[in-house]
Amino acid sequence: MAVEVIMPRQGQSVESCLILEWKKSEGERVEEQEILCAVETDKASFDIEAPADGVLLKTLYNEGSDSAVAESILSYRKRLQKAPESSGQRNISLNDLLMAL
């Protein structure tokens, strides 16, 4: 399932943020807390981190674009957990799972 990452609010008066640079590309794996992009407001610059391990599916804004606060800026797919070997469940590759969707 795709998960959306939203532009966080950085102060009460901030309505939008400028995306300075994407640190990850579409299709690239990301680790939890890894920096996804650098953004700035009229007063500060900050990084947006990945909330979980996964794969970046789609960036919704280009570098240099403004994004409204609380708007989705990218989507990614969380990395699936492997079932324990002793569970008797069959391991399925991510490719097989995606093809089944």
* Cα 10 to Cα 32, 38, 39, 52, distances in angstroms: 21, 13, 11, 21
* pLDDT tens for each residue of 11-40: 788 899 999 999 999 999 999 999 999 999
| Token pair listed for 2 | 């795709």
Q: How many residues does the chain have?
A: 101
pLDDT score for 97: 54
CATH number at residue 22: 2.40.50.100
Domain region containing 68: 2-82+89-100
pLDDT score for 59: 95
Q: Bigger pLDDT: 61 or 92?
A: 61
In 3-state terms, what secondary structure has residue 96? Answer: helix
pLDDT score for 83: 47
* pLDDT tens for each residue of 25-81: 999 999 999 999 999 998 889 999 998 899 999 999 999 999 999 999 999 898 765
Edge-to-edge order in the sheet of strand 54-59: 2-6, 72-78, 54-59, 29-30
Query: Number of structural domains, the chain?
Result: 1
* Inter-residue contact 21 to 63 (CB < 8 Å): yes
